[in-house]
Amino acid sequence: MISKLIVNYLLIICALVMALPRPVSAEPSVRVVNDGQLILQDVPEIPSALVARLKQYQNIRSAAFMDWGKDGKVLYLRTRFGEVNQIHRMYSPGGARQQLTWLESSVGEVVRRNGGQELAFTMDRAGGELNQIYLLNPRTGETRLLTADKARNRLITWSKDGRLMAFQSTRRNGSNTDVWMMDPNRPEAAELLVESENGDWWGPVDFSSDGKYLLVQQMRNVEDSRVHLLNLETRELRLLVGSDEAPSANRAVTFDRDGTGFYYISNAREMAAELVWKSIEPDTMPQHLTATIPWDVTQFALSHDGRRGAFVTNESGISRIYLLNTRSGKFSRVRNIPTGLVNNLKFHPDNQQLALTLSTAQTPSDVFVIELGRSAQSAKKLQRWTFSEVGGLDTDTFIEPDLVHYPTFDLKGDQPRQIPAFVYRPKARGPHPVIIHVHGGPEAQYRPSFSSAFQMWIAELGAAVIAPNIRGSTGYDIQYLALDNGMLREDAVKDIGALLDWIATQPDLDESRVAITGASYGGYIVLASAVHYSDRLKAGIDVVGISNFVTFLESTEDYRRDLRRYEYGDERDPIMRAFLESISPLNNVDRINIPLLVVQGENDPRVPVSESEQIVNALLENGQEVRYIKALNEGHGYDRKENRDVFQQASIMFLQRYLSE
């Protein structure tokens, strides 16, 4: 009897010991997959049944429109048949996609050479974002490298005759974003046109029709961007829009077709971002073309003959397309476009077709063409060119979100400030576990495009997904955008606390089973929420997130640093440095008391790998459960399908473990 009691006592002691946090000296469990490129630390083996169950979602494809062929008989797009996105072409709606490139990394920009068939495109290596520019002959498949250096080269702009290419590059010193120009037949003789100073961002926008001028964009920060005119003969640079006295966000789009004026998007009147036309002559007044629309204009495309334009608005996160008669200034909305997000507008060479990329909550991104009438306002037919594979899933069962607004801690006027959020609710009866998804940026906005991850979470976990646009998000007004700057940083975290309060009021949502996910700045919000709300959260997934603002600002790539200092604060100032240290999750790790999954790319130039590794090590030293995934061939997020698949599988398994309790 005594020996049995002793055995039971020892069993209890063993159980208690097993429940204790792992000793600091204990080695984490590490395994490697995907040909040694993906390192999994303390990530359990993924069951083969789960891998099989998720295959349909993970084999969903998408397509994005890139450009028309010279005669308009060919359409170029970017899509993935293997591991990464490559250039394809199509000759007819619903036809075969013919792959033109088979490169190691994903293709970025793709711009056809004016007057010719060649395609200029950008590509980096392993996510490092040191993009190089290549020239592809689509007839022969020959690819030629134009920028053999270690700089970041991007924003390709062709002259109207196709003889010259302007682009942005850091080749001068590795940190400043300057404007360069080259003759692709003599790339070694590329010429520096505009030198960046004081950390400002500069880039080319458009050549005038006669080739005499280049429209140039300057960005000092998210609230102060300006447009300049560069005389290519005299190299004189003249300011067209923007000022020190009244800073505003102004984004150049294109010259008009006779070169006497240009189109740009501006919030100078502190209203919605408007489409504006202005003469290039000094001291001329702008024409505000969309003053009657109370929504931000996000994109604009001009037809080749200059008679019509098309612009897109962001109406509570939904894209709307309008056609503009550039002579009369009148516009009308295109009514037959599905509710979703629209990108990459470009007119056909015949000026009577408009190609675009469309993504909805129920369908992945695909390429569509609007058949236009001869009238600038008419639109006859929307034709779908690509039908991206959805793994045999019934997309009619995919959940569409509802837009809600919840009150937060402070006031706007005499009423509680309202935070917009998109809520994906499962069709089954609740209460449901909840996954909060926080976008990056922070100068960004969650908008309801297609997400295979969201639909997986809903189907596999029975979870509701909530995507809030916390303060600092774009798409609302300039005051809202600035509400999290500098010393106001943690007010954005309080918006997550207010969302947790709101969840508790919803009968179909389970406040006791809430997880939070986010990438980049969203990853910081995950970590900061774990600091402040561990008693109200079950788990968190931090993807390439900032763990310490000071070390982040000191180690992010030089060409990004000054713009990030404007948003987060200048760590060289002792007062700001002390504040940033005080709010950084790394320095508050003892307050984190939920399991975390941390995900990182080794080559990330934006949020360096050190940001993830230092928080993982600190959590381990503190005895907290943390799983870590690191890809050696990725950067700021996972681009390769094989890495994304494992990450998503590990995420589902992690969320299942903690949201089922």
Instruction: State the pLDDT confidence band at 141, using cuts at 50, 70 and 90.
Output: very high
Q: Give 601-644 pLDDT, tens digit per residue.
A: 999 999 999 999 999 999 999 999 999 999 999 999 999 999 99
- Are 84 and 106 a contacting pair, CB within 8 Å? yes
- Number of neighbours of residue 101 by Cβ within 10 angstroms: 20
Measured between alpha carbons, how far is 192 from 205 in angstroms, rounded to an integer?
15
Please tell me the predicted confidence (pLDDT) of residue 86. 96
Contacts of 452 (CB under 8 A, 6+ apart): 57, 58, 60, 364
Query: According to the 3-state scheme, what is the secondary structure of 472-501?
Result: CCCCCCHHHHCCCCHHHHHHHHHHHHHHHH
For 29-57+398-659, CATH number out of 3.90.1150.10, 3.40.50.1820, 3.50.50.60, 3.30.420.40 equals 3.40.50.1820
CA–CA distances in Å: residue 315 to residues 272, 342, 367 = 11, 12, 21
Residue-wise pLDDT for 217-239, tens only, equals 999 988 899 999 999 999 999 99
**pLDDT at res. 379:** 60
DSSP assignment of 367-383: EEEEEE-SSTT-EEEEE
Domain boundaries, the chain: 29-57+398-659
pLDDT tens for 251-306 read 999 999 999 999 999 998 887 899 999 999 999 999 999 999 999 999 999 999 99
**Sequence-distant (≥ 6) Cβ neighbours of residue 390 within 8 angstroms:** 56, 60, 363, 364
pLDDT tens-digit readout, 78-125: 999 888 999 999 999 999 999 999 999 999 999 999 999 999 999 998
What is the pLDDT, as a whole number, of residue 378? Answer: 55
Taking 70 as the threshold, does the pLDDT of residue 12 lie above it? no
| Full strand arrangement of the beta sheet holding 119-123 | 107-112, 119-123, 132-136, 143-145
β strands within 165-245, DSSP E: 165-169, 178-182, 191-194, 201-207, 213-221, 224-231, 237-241
| Torsion angle (degrees, nearest 10) of CA 293, 298, 304, 307 | 10
User: What's the pLDDT band for 1 if we cut at 50, 70, 90?
Assistant: very low
Per-residue pLDDT, 430: 85
Q: What is the DSSP letter of 393?
A: -
The predicted-structure confidence for 238-248, as pLDDT tens digits, reads as follows 999 999 898 99
User: Other CB atoms closer than 10 Å to residue 252's CB: what's the count?
Assistant: 25
Token pair of 654, please?
């992690």
| Tokens at 523, concatenated | 């990853």
Cα dihedral: 360, 365, 369, 375 (round 10): 40
Q: What is the mean pLDDT of the chain?
A: 92
According to DSSP, residue 305 is labeled T
Q: Is the peptide bond before 442 cis (omega within 30 degrees of 0)?
A: yes
Strand partners, 89: 76, 98
Q: How far is residue 167's CA from residue 179's CA, in Å, rounded to a whole number?
A: 6
Q: Model confidence at 26, in pLDDT bands (50, 70, 90)?
A: low
Highest mean pLDDT: which range of 14-28, 298-312, 364-378: 298-312
Q: Return the percentage of the chain with pLDDT > 70, whole number.
A: 95
How far apart are alpha carbons 270 and 249 in whole angstroms? 10
What is the band of 341 on the pLDDT scale with cuts at 50, 70, 90? very high
Query: Quick one: pLDDT at residue 2?
Result: 42
Residue 479 confidence (pLDDT) above 80:
yes
Residue 654 has what pLDDT? 97
